[in-house]
Amino acid sequence: MPTVSVKWQKELFPAVEIDTSQPPFVFKCQLYDLTGVPPERQKIMVKGGLLKDDADWSTIGVKEGQKLMMMGTADEIVKAPEKDPVFMEDLPEEEQAVAVGHSAGLFNLGNTCYMNSTLQCLHSVPELKSALLNYTYSGRSAELDQSSHLLTVATRDLFNELDRNVKPVAPMHFWMVLRKKYPQFGQQHNGAFMQQDAEECWTQLLYTLSQSLKSPESREGADAMKSLFGIELVSRMHCAESGEESSETESVYSLKCHISHDVNHLHEGLKHGLRSELEKVSPSLARSAVYLKESRISSLPRYLTVQFVRFFWKRESNQKAKILRKVDYPLELDVYDFCSDELREKLQAPRKALRDEENAKLGLKVGDKNNASEESNVNLLEPEGSSKENAVPSTLDTEAASSGKQPHLTGIYDLVAVLTHKGRSADSGHYVGWVKQENGKWIEFDDDHPIPQREEDITKLSGGGDWHMAYICMYKARVVPV
């Protein structure tokens, strides 16, 4: 191999070997290591002109000790980092959790997946964590019993522990307090704790927190849980036989999606859930009669919970059975057509603000007559229940929070958590929580194993087989400053 010297600017590099069995591009890479000039910027003068990357060394006739001239500018020298690199495992655990992008998993303490999945879904609500942080023993309501207070404190402490850790957390203290408050979760069979219903755990925990966070000293206000999760319903009851009519209002913490042979989508199931028949005594007939009960939403929460009524009691086998039917649900849910006339009127201005902002993002003229159709047709959920794949995410939610203006609900919600059940019986099987993080990524919390998931796979948890299927969906409201 011949050895040459290379002159570049004011520098001379002696004794540079050329492997003539390799193309000139390899030689240029050697010079890149010496000078920092990338091969594509190098201009090397040889007999016959410039050295090409794929030239034949035998035709160039390079001689031993020959002096070559090179022109070209080097890449900017990369400065050494001011601080030494820090490996994630060397960071404090709080910073590790931020770097990972999601909080820790929860160890299964023996058929406690129903509890773990519930906790992971509710833990994703920052406003709930804020209300819990402001809860203190001195600020609790005088009417609150000791076991409810202890369960609230255990929830607060466990949420804090999840935020501080990357490694799985054992929710032992929370589980002990939960069983003390609600003994049904401590049922055993053959010396082992039994599987329980996640919806019952979800409902009982929300009820307890709604009682404990009513404290007037709470900075979040007396109705923290009601504003976060409470749904007000106004119902009209009509008896066709007697012609009697009456109305009533009630507060609930979830909407029910009833499943039957003609329900294929969440929209249809919710419609069934808001319309039912019941039997009660008719004053005018002086006997029992059938009443039709039709409900409308009169007040919406920040987080809308939907329960798929998949479990029912099977009399012939004397056990709880599961409806496996596939029921699709959307990433974006609009409940406008389930609302009362009064609530619809309140929603119109915020919905217009949201529509104008999204039209502006799409390049459409704000207030265009073609886009300003009747409000009842704006952003409504399609009957098929499919999400709007091309919908533009609203930035008004964050604007409402930062502007200081009062945020207003729009009736449009985005899916942020799904609690699924796998198996054919409520007394067995496995529960998992699927939670959308603040960075927009979805994480499957399978007890102590957090697993990243794609958003398009979340809506595939709709049932129809033995795979995980949605049992509870939690949606977050889109709000606008008006």
> Catalytic positions, please?
113, 430
Work out the angle between the directed axes of helices 198-212 and 146-164 (0-180°, nearest 10). Answer: 110
User: In this structure, which amino acid lies at residue 17?
Assistant: E
Does residue 144 come out as left (phi exceeding 0), alpha (psi in the -120 to 50 range) or beta?
beta
Q: At what angle do helices 113-123 and 172-181 cross, to 10 degrees?
A: 100
Q: Is residue 197 within a helix (H) or strand (E), and if so which, with residue range?
A: none
Q: Which residues of 126-158 are buried (b: 16+ CB within 10 A; e: fewer)?
A: ebbbebbeebeeeebbeebeeebbbbbbbbbeb
Q: Three-state SS string across 168-187, please?
A: CECCHHHHHHHHHHCHHHHC
What are the structure tokens assigned to 198, written together?
């996640």
Interatomic CA distance for residues 119 and 310, integer angstroms: 21
State how far the Cα of 40 lies from the Cα of 53, in Å rounded to an integer.
9
Instruction: Classify strands 255-258 and 11-17 as parallel, antiparallel or unpaired.
Output: unpaired
Q: Which two tokens stand for residue 95?
A: 């910073």
